[in-house]
Structure formats: C-alpha cells, structure tokens
Amino acid sequence: MLIGSCYLFSIASDAFGEIKTDREEKALTEKFVAGDRKANDKIAIIAIEGVITNNEDGFIARQIRRVLSDTDVKAVVLRVESPGGTMSGSDYYLHLLKQMKTQRKIPVVVSMGSIAASGGYYVSMVGDEIYAESSTLTGSIGVIASLFNAAELLEKIGIESTPITSGPYKTMGSFAKPMSEEERVLWQRLIDDNFERFKQIIREGRKELANNPGELDKLATGQIFTANEALANKLIDTIGFLDDAIERAGELADLGSGYRAIRYKPKLSFMEAMLEGRTPNKLLSGKTLSDMTTPRIYLLCPQVVPMGEWE
C-alpha cells in the first residue's frame, strides 16, 4: 500500500459557539475558533487528521465541499495532523484541495500539527505558505509497499494456497507465497513511479525546490525532519502555530481583523454520540484490518504507529 501518516482526530461536540449549517444526513457544524463572531467573512479550518485513506463521502471531502459552496469563506487554513496514508487517498485529497483553491480563488495556508509526514506532507503542497509548530515532525518523503510473507507459517499449520489465475503475476503480493525476483522488480517499478509523482508534486508546491532537483533528491530519503530542519531545507516557510496561520490567511485574503475563523465538526446523531464516547477509534475495525492486509502503495511514515480514526 501507499500510505500517509495519521493522528487521533477527536469529534467531541462543544455546543458553545456552534452554528448548524447543513440539514443533510452527514451534516457539518461550524465551531467558532477566533476573530469576530459577528463577521460575515470566514476563514475555514479544514482538518486532515489521522491515517489518510480514500473516502469520497468522508469528513475530509465534506469539509472541502462545504468551502466550495460557501461564498462567505475567503481563506482556508489546512490543519494537517497526519503521518500519511495511501498514495491514492493523499493524491485524491490534494486534487480536491487544488480544485477548491482554483474555483474559489482563495488563499490556503497550511498549519502542521505534531506530525505532517509523508502523505501528510504531500497534501500540504496545496498551501501558498506552510507553517509548522516548533515541535512538528515532517518530511518522510518516500513511498512504501507493505507486503508480508506468511508462506512458512501456513505450511507449518497445514494450510496450502492453491489459487487459479489468468496470468503469472495475478498473485503478486500475496502473503501466502514468497516473492519472486521478477515480482520484486515489478513492485519496485510501481514504487519508483509513485516516488517520482511525489517529487513532482513537491516541485509544483515548493518553488524553492522546483529549480533544484538535486537538493530535493537529498531530502527525499524518507527521513523525518524537525521544524527547524524543515525550515532550513525549505520544506516549510515559517515556524508558527495555528493562530499564526489563521492570521496569515487573513492577511493574504486582505480581511484585516474583520473575519471569524471556524472549524468544521461532524454533526452526530444521539446514538452516534453515545457510541463515539465508547469507541474512540476504529483501528481494529473490519475495514481497517482488511486495508492493512491488502497490498497497496503508501505514503507513510513507518516510524509512527497509526492511532485513532481512519478517515
């Protein structure tokens, strides 16, 4: 798989300051964060938190669609708290974010939380400017395919895999057999192709590295960087916190102090709210276990153990 990084995303409700704006089944609420509560112009905080997977109806996509339809939103702060995720998911959300930015013609400032690595860094390339907190870990520019070989274990417990296939590479990546050298070459080709895509996205998003491919190659080793290292290597623009990114977004949109910054939260039914309190994450859900055992290409920071919800 191609994965990006993830962190715990809380969707606990806070009634104070919330504005109900959607009556659909998967409605979003708006919570006031900063600025002038009475201002019409908004700065929307779009959150990408946790392991990134492709979910066209998920919370990330719904936030982006809300901004597309809300003409009161004059700027966006993309809040990234993610160690990465799948290549397809990271690429999909970057596509939606770029589409939103182009159609609405609004500035986007990225605010990195404790981690914005691999796929989390990938989606950050939509930003006009990138802010990272002083303790942020970022980078991990690279691609990984998580493949397992349990053939010896299956043999010991008396299980034999006998697939019927249409071609010699249809079982490529199966955990029930050792990988052949031919298969390894094919997997490496897939990794290399997606790695070039990752670097191209960075060149498009970071003008400082666009004309210096040799410098980017030195950074694209999978290494994790501190905020200071990322700043020195031009992977980010500024060390600052969420409130700094919000203020900068207001400046880029020429809003002065006449704005209200809001963040989106899913509107839960009573039963969902009750269950949410008892099941803080879905790490061991059937879908998650299936995703973990299916061969995919990831933009992932493997040093970070995924925790919390999978979006």
Neighbours of 213 (CB within 10 A): 12
CA–CA separation, 182 and 120 (whole Å): 32
What is the tens place of the pLDDT at every residue in 217-254?
999 999 999 999 999 999 999 999 999 999 999 999 99
Positions marked catalytic: 118, 170
Is the pLDDT at 139 greater than 80? The verdict is yes
**Would you call 260 exposed, middle or buried from its count of C-beta atoms within 10 A (0-12, 13-18, 19+)?**
buried
pLDDT at position 307: 43
Q: With a threshold of 0.75, does the pTM exceed it? A: yes
What's the average model confidence in pLDDT over 88-92?
96
Is the pLDDT at 285 greater than 80? The verdict is no
Q: What is the sign of the dihedral through the CA atoms of 128, 129, 132 and 133?
A: negative
- Per the CB < 8 A criterion, the answer to whether 217 and 141 are in contact is no
- Per the CB < 8 A criterion, the answer to whether 163 and 170 are in contact is yes
Residue with tokens 């949109």: 253
Is the pLDDT at 133 greater than 80? The verdict is yes
CA–CA separation, 43 and 33 (whole Å): 10
Higher pLDDT, 185 or 91: 91
The CA dihedral of 254, 257, 263, 264, to the nearest 10 degrees, is -70
CA–CA separation, 45 and 261 (whole Å): 7
- Per the CB < 8 A criterion, the answer to whether 125 and 138 are in contact is no
Is the pLDDT at 310 greater than 50? The verdict is no
pLDDT at position 297: 73
Distances (CA, A) of 174 to 59, 180, 192: 32, 11, 20
What is the tens place of the pLDDT at every residue in 19-51?
444 444 458 999 999 999 999 999 999 999 999
Banded pLDDT at 79 (limits 50, 70, 90): very high
Is the pLDDT at 64 greater than 60? The verdict is yes
CA–CA separation, 297 and 229 (whole Å): 27
Higher pLDDT, 8 or 172: 172
pLDDT at position 172: 74
- Per the CB < 8 A criterion, the answer to whether 128 and 95 are in contact is no
Stated length of the chain: 311
Q: What is the sign of the dihedral through the CA atoms of 209, 215, 220 and 225?
A: negative
Domains of the chain and CATH, by start: 4-146+221-300 (3.90.226.10)
The CA dihedral of 265, 269, 273, 278, to the nearest 10 degrees, is -120
Banded pLDDT at 271 (limits 50, 70, 90): low
User: What is the pLDDT of the chain when averaged over all its residues?
Assistant: 82
Share of the chain above pLDDT 70, in %: 77
Strands 144-145 and 224-226: unpaired
3-state secondary structure of 256: coil
Higher pLDDT, 13 or 109: 109
Q: Which helix (H) or strand (E) holds 192?
A: helix 181-205
* Structural Rg of the chain based on CA atoms: 21
